[in-house]
Amino acid sequence: SRRPWPFLARCFADRAYAGSRVAQASSIAVSIVGRAPGQKGFAVQPRRWVVERSFAWFGRCRRLARDHEATVSSAVAFFTLAAAMVLVRRLAQTL
* Residue-wise pLDDT tens digits, 66-84: 777 788 888 888 888 888 9
Q: Which of 25-29, 55-59, 73-77, 80-84 has the highest mean pLDDT?
A: 80-84
Instruction: Say yes or no to pLDDT of 8 above 70.
Output: yes
Q: Work out the mean pLDDT of the chain and round it to a whole number.
A: 81
- Of 31, 33, 34, the C-alpha closest to 10 is 31
> Can you give the pLDDT at residue 2?
66
Predicted TM-score (pTM) of the model is: 0.55
> Can you give the pLDDT at residue 1?
61
**Distance of CA 17 to CAs 49, 54, 88, Å?**
17, 19, 31
Instruction: State mean pLDDT over 51-74.
Output: 79
